[in-house]
Structure 1
Amino acid sequence: MMTPHALSVDGLSIRLGTSLVVNDVSLTLGHGESLGIVGESGCGKSTLLKCIAGIHDTWSGTIEAFGRRLVARRTFADRRMLQIVFQDPAAALNPAHTVDRILREPLIIHRVDRQDKRIADVLDAVGLPRSIRFRFPGQISGGQRQRLCIARALLVGPQVLLLDEPTSSLDVSIQAELLNLLADLRVDRQISYLLISHDLAVVAQLCERIAVMASGKIVGCTTREELRGGAKEESYRRLLLPFSRD
């Protein structure tokens, strides 16, 4: 019997108002795999990711996680399985809450025990000093805030992490550190990643497979090895290369 994919999307279309933002998208994500979707701003990739996360509910098609069909109204188990890390950590974190409260909230919602130990352990896992636990988001750096967002997502033990351009607001040196952290966490925790970005170099660093999205559709797919080795035809490389210059 075949093991179900970590994530399977079939014929997904998303409407926002009268606009068809995502049009008949299908993709699969294997266990422990990292799939990147690259495309220019406005192509529909963020809407796609938020729909998979359960944020948008005006969609048609099929979304399955580990063989379980997901509907617009998600259960707590569904939300534990799929967690999202947003692009802008400043907007994703409540500035009036301490780091401790930000991390404790999902544990309370999901009724997870040993909260103090879990908070200390996840700070260690993402490379944050325990001394920041009672600081506010405005008292830590941008890179630390994004690590905090990753820590919050990890606390409920997700099997799939949805990454919405997680490095785009950071300096280049901090981006590299964060990508290395994400690569290590995926191996250590056997998590599957679905990453979206406008930056082909970022996607190629973290993902084995890469899909290109334009005007709400997946218009092509490749692998990291094919991209680096030049095995794809020149016409297809011309489709990919404009995104690497953003």
Structure 2
Amino acid sequence: MAAVSFPPLEIRNLSVRLGGAAIVDDVSLRLEVGENVGIVGESGCGKSTLLKCVAGIHRNWSGTIEALGRPLSNARSIADRRLLQIVFQDPLAALNPAHTIDDILREPLVIHGFDDRERRIAEGLDAVGLARNVRFRFPGQLSGGQRQRVCIARALLVEPRILLLDEPTSALDVSVQAEILNLLTRLHAERGISLLMVSHDLAVVAHMCKRIVVMANGSLVRTTTRDELTGQSPNAAYQALLGAPADTTG
């Protein structure tokens, strides 16, 4: 009998309600092996809430989330958390300012029971293009781009199958954004990891993701591909995806 192959991530009928309002409304999405999918939408559309439900941060949801065929509950086990790791929007807020980079990278290895931690930390820094002596500094001594590289290294140290990206470049200078996107693209290709990324910036999502889903008012309203958007300006493409006329005033 052939082995059953499960997708890394499958979301079915996921909803989040606050009072009488649907923040996320009956969302279903499937992420295939090695696929990179982007969810794009305006601020407040529910995309970050959706991602935090998948990550196990937001627990007040209904529906089904499965990782590699395993149903995930609102309360996650250590094994569940190892499958899915998240990189947040603001790297400064995501790192404890009182801990050295070595402390920050060592902690997930301890929690998940990895041995050979010295080697893993050194190789983790190599993988994201940081000098190994960075481990003895504090987050406040690093640039924004360096801090985000630390966050990416921390997420990948436990060898997750799915990497969740919550606007990973929006808090960075424009000159640094492309470097981080190129790093994530390389790591995705090298490791075969599946990526789910949310952003309000269609150009950023199109840089990273072949399949793009548009979210509005808590619902997924349209799916497209990077190839279909080729040749269009980000603003015109986004308006077209929403079925609205593009703003040509500026």
Distance 1:48 1:241, change over 3 A: farther
Q: Comparing 73-82 with 92-101, which one deviates more in the overlay? A: 73-82
Residues of 1 paired with 2:244 and 2:147: CA distance? Answer: 31
Q: Which runs of 5+ in 2 are unaligned?
A: none
3-state SS of paired residue (2:186): helix
Residues of 2 paired with 1:79 and 1:66: CA distance? Answer: 13
Residues of 1 paired with 2:120 and 2:238: CA distance? Answer: 49
Aligned to 1:194: 196
Contact 1:5 1:28 in 2 (8 A): yes
Aligned to 1:73: 75
1:1-246 mapped onto 2 (5 Å cutoff): 3-16=5-18, 18-228=20-230, 236-237=240-241, 239=243
Residues of 2 paired with 1:140 and 1:234: CA distance? Answer: 35
Residues of 2 paired with 1:216 and 1:195: CA distance? Answer: 16
Residues of 1 paired with 2:173 and 2:200: CA distance? Answer: 16
State TM-score, norm by structure 2: 0.92
Question: How far is 1:239 from its partner?
Answer: 3.8
**Structure 1 residues 28-60: Cα deviation after superposition (integer angstroms, max 9, x where no partner):** 111000000000000000000000000111111
Residues of 2 paired with 1:241 and 1:95: CA distance? Answer: 45
Distance 1:238 1:20, change over 3 A: closer
Residues of 1 paired with 2:244 and 2:107: CA distance? Answer: 41
Contact 2:222 2:242 in 1 (8 A): no
Distance 1:136 1:214, change over 3 A: same
3-state SS of paired residue (1:32): coil
Distance 1:242 1:141, change over 3 A: farther
Residues of 1 paired with 2:169 and 2:187: CA distance? Answer: 16
**Structure 1 residues 81-116: Cα deviation after superposition (integer angstroms, max 9, x where no partner):** 000000000100000000000000111111110011
RMSD over aligned CA atoms reads 2.1
Residues of 2 paired with 1:237 and 1:125: CA distance? Answer: 36
State TM-score, norm by structure 1: 0.93
3-state SS of paired residue (1:20): strand
Contact 2:128 2:149 in 1 (8 A): yes
Contact 1:162 1:195 in 2 (8 A): yes
Question: How far is 1:242 from its partner?
Answer: 6.3
Question: How far is 1:241 from its partner?
Answer: 8.5
3-state SS of paired residue (2:136): coil
Residues of 2 paired with 1:112 and 1:73: CA distance? Answer: 23
Contact 2:97 2:140 in 1 (8 A): yes
Residues of 1 paired with 2:238 and 2:141: CA distance? Answer: 48
Question: How far is 1:19 from its partner?
Answer: 3.5
Contact 1:89 1:149 in 2 (8 A): yes
Residues of 1 paired with 2:238 and 2:61: CA distance? Answer: 35
Contact 2:41 2:216 in 1 (8 A): yes
Percent of aligned pairs with the same amino acid: 64
Question: How far is 1:73 from its partner?
Answer: 1.4
After the TM superposition, which segments of 4 or more aligned residues of structure 1 sit over 6 Å from their partners? Answer: 240-243
Aligned residues: 242
Question: How far is 1:16 from its partner?
Answer: 3.7
Residues of 2 paired with 1:195 and 1:162: CA distance? Answer: 6
Residues of 1 paired with 2:203 and 2:20: CA distance? Answer: 34
Residues of 2 paired with 1:26 and 1:45: CA distance? Answer: 13
Question: How far is 1:187 from its partner?
Answer: 1.0
Residues of 2 paired with 1:131 and 1:147: CA distance? Answer: 14
